[in-house]
Structure 1
Amino acid sequence: MKLFFAAASPYVRKVLVVARERGLDERITLVPAAASPVARNPEVVAHNPSGKIPTLLLDDGTALYDSRVIAEYLDAIDGPRLFPAAGAARWSALCLQSLADEMTGAALLMRYETVLRPEQLRWAEWTEGQKAKVLSSVAQLEETWLEALTGEITIGSIAAGCALGYLDFRFPTIGWRTGRDRLAAWYETFAVRPSMQATAPTA
């Protein structure tokens, strides 16, 4: 399998963590692929019309995207583990993944607004709106999701760990740990997992 990736992408990281947790990382060839909202990568577009990463090419040439689909595909190889099969546990894991992915998406929009958009066109209120989404999501992780986070590892806890790691990477001054000691303690434990250490983002 081939994975179009960028080392700084939190969505790519989520897929790579899943691959390592499932022992599949050696079956995936990483293909560097720069991608941005204003400069799509033609090599990726040939397989994924959005041009977004991660995009996974299977051995038969089939393309899978986005990170949620790729992660579930990898988890289904030799039997699902990180995606609960059914019932309340499944919906909990999927909802937690969605919360984390939306938080990640808001953080990426902040990044695009403050780095990619020309300074004279930047919209401060837009950035603050995305920041508010990030912080309210972090608050809900602390207030509602700690039991799910501290239980058996799932796609939800992986997505949350990658989202918080992205905040540390791109927005170290955002202060997500302030007043959230339990969440911070969970993250410090989760962040030292070999799969997280091996996939730490780089610029």
Structure 2
Amino acid sequence: MTLPLRKPDAPPAASGERAALLDAAERLFVAHGVAPVELGDVAAAAGLPLRAAARHFAGKDALLAGLRERFVADFCAGQRAAMERCRPGDWTGRLRAWIASGFHGYLDHAALHDVVFHDARAHDRIALQHNPVVDQLTELLQAGVEARAWVSTDPRMTAVIFFNALHAAADRVIAAGEPYERERPLRTLIGYFERSVQWWRQA
């Protein structure tokens, strides 16, 4: 996942238009795919004239970028809220909360995730390094290191490995078909993360 630079907050009316356009784009892209949907279709579905849509988005690429930004912001907010429900200093609890929130969040919004990320035209290794979800996990791991809960010489690399493990585990569940059986793979994922934490403690 990548996240574009956030723009300054828009006036309320314009912000409402932008949200309505993003909501409409999400519905149409998930239902029909990106290719057949035009900016005019999104404007009509949002109940806005095309010129209003063009004020906010130059085209479908800009709409997709806006959806990616919102998806990642909501994803990170959900994980942050889950961690903040843990007691201060409960590093194991915070890590479990991050894993569970991310795992369920991915599965709950898999169709939208696939539209905004898997339909990307190019694999940009540089852009992929600027990942707010990995940033958030790196901060958690670094804080645990500073609290002497864990030992790691490279929290960022560990966060990259953990993020990709979570992503792959969710994809494996999706590939198994409906209905998703989540609890067993989630326990496996948490166990993998926690064994890594214990290994750090022993290092």
TM-score range, shorter chain: 0.3 to 0.5
Q: Which has the larger radius of gyration?
A: 2
- The structure with the largest strand share of the pair is 1
Normalising to structure 2: TM-score of the pair? 0.32
TM-score computed with the length of structure 1 as normaliser = 0.32
More helix by share: 2
